[in-house]
Amino acid sequence: MNAPSLKVQPLDTGTTFRSQVYHALKQAITEMDIYDHAEEIRLEERQLSELLGVSRTPIREALTLLEQEGFIRLLPRRGVFVVRKTKTEIIEIIQAWAALESMAARLAAIRAPADDIHRLWELFRDFEQRSPKDHVSEYSDANIAFHKSIIRLGGSQLLQEMTDNLFIHVRAIRKLTIGQENRAERSIAEHKAIIDALERRDADEAERLVRDHTLGLAAHVEKHCDFL
């Protein structure tokens, strides 16, 4: 399987190039499936310049920022590569995410508006009459949106910022594994239990369910993802 390519759009030249390039590349990298192939993902400055419609200077400036945040690594005489973690590192990332998201769930149960919590059901409405395992790609998107929503509903800007740099790896691993070992079916049942706990304002239960749900992903990676 070939390595994925970046999906970016030309930039509006009316605002700061470095900032625009940084945000465009960060979003594109975050949306890549970085673990579903064996090849390293190499970024070419010239190609990025052509895709974004800017000179190489803001490209280099943005890449420096992305390297500082751990999204890419610059290797002398080799080029620019998207960072991929080892299996051990991925498990640690998932464990950290479990701690952060479970706290967000506790906060959401306490203070998120009822209407916002109720809208979580809409993410899974399309799967009431059809099995998520038969629509894995669509369900994967709903699954990822659910976890991002829990973080947002917690209402903590710091928690959102702390999870941002973990999201590229958690998203990619969730998407890669959701179709394995009946995970999609178990996932939707666990999501519904989480929403129910949030609507009942049971902070202890919501926190526990979210933590256990995400740690289940860590256990799955430990057992089944030897290719990482």
Alpha-carbon gap, residue 172 to 31, rounded angstroms? 8
User: CA of 110: how far to CAs of 106, 117, 205, 206, in Å?
Assistant: 6, 11, 12, 10
Q: How confident is the model at residue 14 (pLDDT cuts 50, 70, 90)?
A: very low
| 208 pLDDT higher than 70 | yes
Please write the tens of the pLDDT for every residue from 100-136.
999 999 999 999 999 999 999 999 888 877 777 777 7
Give the number of other CB atoms < 10 A from CB of residue 65.
16
Residues 186 and 169 in one domain: yes
Alpha-carbon gap, residue 116 to 110, rounded angstroms? 13
Beta bridge partners of 81: 42, 73
Pairing state between β 72-75 and 79-82: antiparallel
Please write the tens of the pLDDT for every residue from 171-198.
888 888 887 878 888 898 999 999 999 9
Query: H-helix or E-strand containing 108?
Result: helix 87-111
Q: Domain range spanning residue 70?
A: 17-82
DSSP 118: H
Residues 106 and 152 in one domain: yes
Query: H-helix or E-strand containing 73?
Result: strand 72-75
* Final residue of a structural domain among 82, 110, 135: 82
Question: What local confidence, expressed as pLDDT, does residue 204 receive?
Answer: 98
DSSP line for 154-216: TT-HHHHHHHHHHHHHHHHHHHHHTTSTTHHHHHHHHHHHHHHHHHTT-HHHHHHHHHHHHHH
Query: H-helix or E-strand containing 220?
Result: helix 203-224
CB proximity list for 183: less than 8 A, separation 6 or greater: 177, 220
Domain-located, residue 187: yes
Residues 94 and 73 in one domain: no
Residues 116 and 28 in one domain: no
Please write the tens of the pLDDT for every residue from 19-70.
888 999 988 888 888 888 778 889 999 999 998 888 889 999 999 999 998 8
The CATH number of residue 153's host domain is 1.20.120.530
Residues 74 and 94 in one domain: no
Question: What local confidence, expressed as pLDDT, does residue 89 receive?
Answer: 94
pLDDT top residue among 226 and 3: 226
Q: How many structural domains are present in the chain?
A: 2
| 13 pLDDT higher than 60 | no
Judge contact between 77 and 115, C-beta under 8 A. Answer: no
Question: What local confidence, expressed as pLDDT, does residue 77 receive?
Answer: 84
